[in-house]
């Protein structure tokens, strides 16, 4: 995948309101009209193409010295974003007040300094910005200690105790944050922790005493991280009742304080949806999706809204077997794919391709199935990451190839595809019983001509996969390959068996 233009990426993250604010500022500043023209030109493109931009706007001033103009536009956009967020971003508010304190201290304006500190401390305490609160307390101690009038001297001991409690809260907060990050490192490339080394590291991490039951939390954020870790732990242990119960606790916790923690509330909605999706519990999806839609529409970039809302609706419709609605979402995604694919993170890119591939497979559209399979195979980052989706799709490709050959595609060398799949999986330590059994049966199928004998081989494959499913029910593509086996044995369309 070619390197993306950084300014273009920034522009595509802007919400409608942020774009409107930039245009408003540009109209009041004659010098900014050049940058507004460049902004509009880039925003119109679905995927950035500098050659086309230069050709289309060759007479425009911004084309001259375009590189510098782009750098200057980047800074101007960042200035607008900072200006818009100072009033909304809690950290920015506190840091803004902190910037006053050295000046007030130097001028011995302790009464005003004390007033500003108290205001900032209130914000820091309510928002649990403990690292900033420590800095405020340090300034307050410094101010009290050097106040020649002695007005605040009696407060020193209280400030020391306040600072010690703040430090405890910060330390607890950091421990929970780091536990969650370490967990994310383990699950980022291998979602279900099938490798023994990762599972051992995971179990060791979960032995931390702060992850035991009945914790007394010093902060909202610590409790939030605790619930999130428990969600992941119980999902991996296949205890979906507990994982979804912790997801509900997390959402309830964040919903109570959604006015103060909008981003955390938004993330809790995402976590709820992904957790209930993994548990295949879709009944509450529309209600929670509506909450997310209200929260993000008009406040997040169009690509953000397009990405997340469509992805969850796609998962919901597939989960509820509403194929017409799922195909409608697929059409929306495909229409915007050129711009959307550049915006997506690696995991979401692969998840979209995988779900679209499976949707078309279920409804019997083999050409579209192959198109999305090719998207996964050609995703350069997946080749280096060897993501579980990438590797599972490599195995599923054998089934797709077999179907394509049956439908008359004589250009496919099935034996070569089998060898390539086996090599890829073995090189990435993913050649387990599931993969080996599928590969072996594909070899048998390739050597047989008689339909009855082929059906017998597929029935044998199904029986062996059923045994694996009892032990490892969440292996990627296992359910779909089993469905394929049943459809071939019974001569029934996959959609009717799903």
Tens-place pLDDT, residues 246-288: 999 999 999 999 988 889 999 999 999 999 999 999 999 999 9
> Cβ–Cβ contacts within 10 Å for residue 100, how many?
15
Terminal Cα distance for the chain, rounded: 35
For residues 484 and 345, give the distance between their C-alpha atoms in angstroms, rounded to a whole number: 31
329, 310 contact by CB (below 8 A): yes
How far apart (Å, rounded) are the C-alpha atoms in residues 223 and 228? 9
Closest CA to 260 of 126, 133, 170, 119: 126
Q: For the chain, state the CA radius of gyration.
A: 28
> In Å, how far are 228, 387, 402, 419 from 376, measured between CA atoms?
29, 10, 18, 19
Q: What is the pLDDT of residue 82?
A: 77
Could you give phi then psi for residue 98, rounded to 5 degrees? -60, -30
- Which H or E element spans position 72? helix 66-86
Cα 410 to Cα 380: distance, rounded to the nearest angstrom:
28
Residue keyed to tokens 């992904």: 274
Spans in the chain with pLDDT lower than 50: 1-2, 384-385
Output 59-65 pairs: Cβ under 8 A, ≥24 positions apart.
61/34, 61/37, 62/34, 62/35, 62/37, 62/38
The answer to whether the beta carbons of residues 417 and 436 sit under 8 Å apart is no
Report how many helices (DSSP H) and strands (DSSP E) the chain contains, helices first: 27, 0
Give the tens place of pLDDT for each residue, 31-77. 677 888 999 999 999 889 999 999 999 998 889 889 999 999 999 89
pLDDT value of residue 1: 39
Spell out the alpha helix ranges (H) of 407-432: 414-427
Residues 6+ apart with CB under 8 A from 164: none
């Amino acid at each position: 995948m070619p390197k993306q233009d950084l300014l273009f990426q920034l522009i595509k993250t802007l919400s409608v309101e942020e774009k409107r604010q930039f245009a408003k500022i540009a109209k009041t500043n004659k010098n900014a009209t050049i940058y507004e023209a460049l902004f509009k030109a880039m925003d119109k493109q679905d995927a950035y193409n500098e050659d086309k931009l230069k050709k289309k706007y060759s007479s425009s001033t911004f084309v001259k010295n375009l590189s510098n103009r782009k750098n200057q536009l980047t800074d101007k956009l960042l200035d607008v974003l900072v200006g818009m967020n100072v009033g909304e971003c809690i950290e920015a508010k506190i840091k803004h007040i902190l910037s006053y304190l050295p000046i007030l201290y130097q001028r011995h304006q302790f009464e005003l300094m004390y007033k500003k500190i108290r205001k900032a401390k209130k914000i820091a305490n309510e928002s649990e910005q403990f690292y900033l609160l420590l800095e405020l307390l340090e300034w307050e101690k410094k101010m009290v200690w050097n106040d020649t009038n002695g007005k605040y001297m009696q407060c020193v001991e209280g400030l020391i105790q306040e600072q010690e409690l703040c430090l405890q809260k910060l330390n607890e907060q950091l421990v929970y944050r780091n536990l969650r990050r370490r967990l994310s490192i383990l699950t980022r490339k291998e979602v279900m922790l099938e490798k023994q080394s990762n599972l051992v590291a995971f179990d060791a991490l979960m032995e931390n005493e702060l992850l035991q039951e009945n914790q007394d939390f010093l902060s909202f954020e610590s409790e939030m991280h605790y619930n999130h870790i428990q969600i992941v732990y119980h999902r991996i242990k296949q205890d979906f009742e507990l994982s979804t119960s912790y997801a509900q606790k997390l959402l309830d916790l964040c919903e109570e304080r959604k006015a103060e923690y909008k981003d955390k509330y938004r993330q809790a909605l995402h976590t709820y949806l992904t957790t209930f999706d993994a548990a295949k519990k879709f009944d509450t999806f529309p209600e929670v999706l509506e909450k997310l839609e209200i929260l993000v529409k008009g406040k997040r970039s169009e690509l953000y809204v397009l990405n997340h809302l469509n992805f969850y609706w796609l998962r919901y419709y597939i989960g509820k077997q509403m194929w017409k609605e799922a195909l409608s979402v697929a059409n929306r995604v495909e229409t915007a794919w050129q711009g959307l694919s550049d915006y997506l993170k690696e995991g979401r890119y692969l998840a979209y391709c995988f779900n679209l591939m499976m949707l078309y497979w279920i409804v019997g559209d083999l050409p579209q199935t192959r198109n999305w399979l090719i998207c996964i195979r050609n995703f350069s980052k997946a080749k280096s990451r060897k993501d579980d989706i990438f590797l599972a799709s490599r195995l599923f490709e054998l089934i797709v190839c077999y179907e394509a050959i049956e439908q008359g595609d004589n250009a496919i060398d099935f034996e070569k595809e089998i060898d390539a799949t086996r090599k890829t999986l073995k090189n990435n330590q993913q050649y387990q019983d599931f993969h080996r059994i599928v590969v072996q049966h594909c070899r048998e199928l390739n050597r047989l001509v008689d339909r009855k004998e082929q059906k017998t081989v597929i029935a044998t494959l199904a029986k062996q996969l059923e045994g694996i499913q009892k032990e490892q029910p969440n292996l990627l593509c296992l359910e779909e390959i089993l469905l394929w086996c049943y459809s071939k044995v019974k001569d029934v369309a996959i959609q009717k068996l799903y």
